[in-house]
Amino acid sequence: MANLSKLDLVPSARGGAENIVRSKRFEWLARAGFIARGLVYVIIGILAWKLAMGSGGTAANQQGALRAIAHQPFGHALLVLVTIALAGYALWRLFHAALGHGSEGSDSTADRIAALGSGIAYAGLCALAVEILLSSRSGSSTSHKTTADLFGWTAGTWLVGAAGMLMIGVGLYQAYRGVSRDFLKDSKTDEMDPAVQTWFESIASVGHVARAVVFSLVGVFLVKAAVEFNPNKAVGLDGALAKLANASYGPYVLGVVATGLVGFGIYSLADARYRRI
């Protein structure tokens, strides 16, 4: 009887989780997360534009974007709202990974793994926002330090290399999503006017390809750091954009990528309305 009651807890817990995910409040929290993600990417794109024009100053990464929000009028209150929205987005992605999309959990294994990775990443971004709210960060880049710490672990070099390959894989997946327009299966295209759908598809495609470029660059430099056993070769998002700026025709290429990142942000804002939750 005790074993039976324990087994009954599994479907009961799953049913309770599904009820949470289907609730209107949770849906609005998830949609607010898309707005927060869009805002962050628009700001990153703007910071990257400034970097391309040689007037950078704030790191063109998630931390720089969150700090830019905090420095606006009523920035502390706005960052609190962004933090809550990012938490909602992360929870939605983690529930998505655990349950699949919808009551039948019909997503593929790859979709659920992607949801898990996204949920963890945005939970980390939410934690970063909390740290900024609490003024507990120095504002300096930690990419090199984190990678240097990993090199000190047993099999640390392999971990750094694996992280780089994972980032390259994410980049290739983003490129696939952008070129094939696979993202449309997640959107309510039936509720769009033809003109809106054309605009939506174009800006989302450009945005996904821009993210592919950045993620792939971060991955390449992580792999290079592992191969050369040099943590200084590792870069984060801001470092990858800086590498683009310093390359031949870099400012022009970076300008295009920055435009794509802004495009991805605008797509995220639109997805707050049209995403299937």
pLDDT at 103 (0 to 100): 43
pLDDT mean values, one per 10 residues, the chain (277 residues)? 50 62 81 93 91 76 84 86 91 83 59 85 89 65 54 71 89 94 91 93 95 91 84 76 79 90 95 89
The residue written with tokens 């683009």 in the block is 244
Using alpha carbons, select from 146, 139, 147, 134 the residue that is nearest to residue 57. Answer: 139
Q: What is the spatial distance between Cα 111 and Cα 106, in angstroms, rounded to a whole number?
A: 10
- Does the residue 9 lie in any domain? no
pLDDT at 240 (0 to 100): 83
- Does the residue 18 lie in any domain? no
The phi, psi pair for 187, rounded to 5°, reads -115, 150
- Does the residue 263 lie in any domain? yes
* Domain region containing 219: 25-274
pLDDT at 37 (0 to 100): 93
The residue written with tokens 């300008």 in the block is 255
- Does the residue 17 lie in any domain? no
Per DSSP, 240 falls in state: H
What's the token pair of residue 13? Answer: 């817990």
What's the token pair of residue 160? Answer: 């750094």
- Does the residue 173 lie in any domain? yes
pLDDT at 52 (0 to 100): 86
Q: How many domains does the chain have?
A: 1
Q: What is the spatial distance between Cα 139 and Cα 33, in angstroms, rounded to a whole number?
A: 24
- Whole-number percent of the chain with pLDDT over 90: 34
Return the sign of the alpha-carbon dihedral for residues 174, 178, 180, 186.
Answer: positive
Burial class (CB in 10 A: 0-12, 13-18, 19+), 248: exposed
- Does the residue 7 lie in any domain? no
- Does the residue 196 lie in any domain? yes
- Does the residue 19 lie in any domain? no
* Side chain identity at residue 194, one-letter code: P
